[in-house]
Amino acid sequence: MTSPAGEEEQSFDLAIIGGGIAGITLAIALLNRGIKVNLYEQGHAFSEIGAGVAFSPNATQAMEVCADGIYQGFVKVATKNQWKSKEKVWLELVDGYHHDESMGTQEKFLFELSNDLGQNAVHRAHYLDELAKLVPEGVPHFRKHLDLVTEEESGKLRMKFHDGSEAVADAVIGCDGIKSRVRQLILGQSDLASQPQYTHKYAYRGLIPVKRAIEVLGEENAVNTKMHVGPDKHILTFPIDKGETMNVVAFCTNSDPWPDSRHLTLPSKKSTAIKEFEGWGRNCVEIMNLLEDNLDCWAIFDTGDYPLSTYYKGRCVLSGDAAHATTPHHGAGAGFCIEDSAVMAELLAAAATNVKSGKVSKNQALEASFAAFEAARKERTQWLVQSSRLIGDLFEWRVKGIGSDVRKIEKELRDRDDIIWNVDVRQMAREAVEDLEKRFA
C-alpha cells in the first residue's frame, strides 16, 4: 500500500502563471481532476483587458470539457442578440461607409453568419468574477510578477518573483498573455518570437447605454450585433450586460509605428475617434458621437510575424495568448484559450494516472504531456493567428483580389469560421491523450 508521503511524491504540483481566462480556466479544470495547482497573477486580482468577449460553439464545448462550472458561469453572464429573430446570428455585416439618407438609420445589409449559439457575449470582468468563485482560497497568489525559473538538483522548478518571493513546482504553465514572461524564458529574449509584434491596427473601445443607443441608432442596431465595414476601418458593436450596454470596438489601420511599445493601451479622446470616421455613414459617425469623452486606444499586437517554434521547453509550457496571441477579428482568441485548457487538463490527468501506476516518472510524464499538447494545438492555433489577420483586412476591404467584393468576403468568412466552429473538442482531447499514451509505450 502506498504511503501518504509516497502519494504526495507521485502527485503533480503545478504552477500557472497568469490569471486571465486562460489561466483561471486551466486552474479550475486541473482542480476538477484532483491535480494540485497554484496560480500566480501579477495584478491585484483576476483580470482581463477589454470589456466584451464572444464565445462560439467550439469554446462552449471546451468549457464543458474543462468543468461544468466554467460553462454555467458563462451561461449566467452571457448576452445574446436581443431580438428573437436574430438569436442564432453570430455576425451581421453592413456597409458602414456608404449611406443613403433615404434609409434613415438603416445601413446596407451585406450578409450574416449564423451558428447554433448565435452571438454570445460576456463582459470579461463579470465572467472572471463567476470563474473566481470556483477557485478555492489558497490557490491564487496575487501581485506575483515572474522574473526567473530555474531547476533545482531535486528536479523541482524554482520561480523567483519581482517582490523577492520564491516558490517551487513540478512544472510551470505560462498563461501570462501576450507579453508573456514565460515565453521569453522558454525561447530566450533574443528570439524575435519572444515578443509580440504590432499589426498596424488599433481600436477605440467604449460602452454606450443601450437606451441612449436606441434613441440615436434605432432598436435593431443598438441591441443586436453589427459589423460596420468599410475602407481601412471597421466598427464592431454588440450587446453585453444582459442587453443594458452596447459594446463598441472601432478599428483603424495605418502604417505608422505604435508610439509606446511598453503599453498596449494609451489614453485617447472621443474627438480623435470622431475625426477617424469623418466621411463615414451616418450610423458610424453617430456611434463615435455617443462614446464617452475619455477613451482607451488599444494597439492590436499578435504573434503572427514570428510564430513560435515551440510551445514548451522541458517542464515549462505555454498556453493561451502566451503561445499564440491573436488579433480579435475572428472573435475566437478567448475560445481557443479555453480549448487549450481543455486539452491540457485531459493530458495532465492522463499523465497523472500513468505516474501513479508506476509506468513513468513524474518529470517524464510532464515533458511528454507538453510535447503532446504542442502536437495537438500548434497547427490549429497558429492558423488562427494568421487567419484572424486576414479577416481584419477583409472587414476593411484591404485584401488583394477581394477588396469590397461582398460575395468573396462572405465565402472567406464562412470557410474560415467553419474551421473554428465545427470541431469536436472532446475528440480533440482524446486524440491528444492517445498520442500521449503512445509516447509512454
Residue 223 has which C-alpha cell?
Answer: 441591441
For residue 400, what are the contacts with CB-CB under 8 A and spacing of at least 6? none
Give the C-alpha separation, 111 to 96, whole Å. 13
- Which of 120, 177, 131 minimizes the C-alpha distance to 29? 131
Give the C-alpha separation, 406 to 397, whole Å. 9
Distance of CA 218 to the CA centre of its chain: 31
Rounded (10°) angle between helices 425-440 and 362-394? 140
Catalytic pick among 33, 181, 183, 205: 205
**Residue 205 annotated in active site:** yes
CB 282: neighbour CB atoms within 10 A? 18
Give the C-alpha separation, 394 to 176, whole Å. 30
Q: Is 163 exposed, middle or buried (CB count within 10 Å of its CB: 0-12, 13-18, 19+)?
A: exposed
Query: What are the backbone dihedrals phi and psi of residue 258, each rounded to the nearest 5 degrees, phi first?
Result: -70, 135
- Which of 80, 92, 73 minimizes the C-alpha distance to 24? 73
Q: Answer yes or no: are the C-beta atoms of 175 and 20 closer than 8 Å.
A: yes
Residues annotated catalytic, as ranges: 205
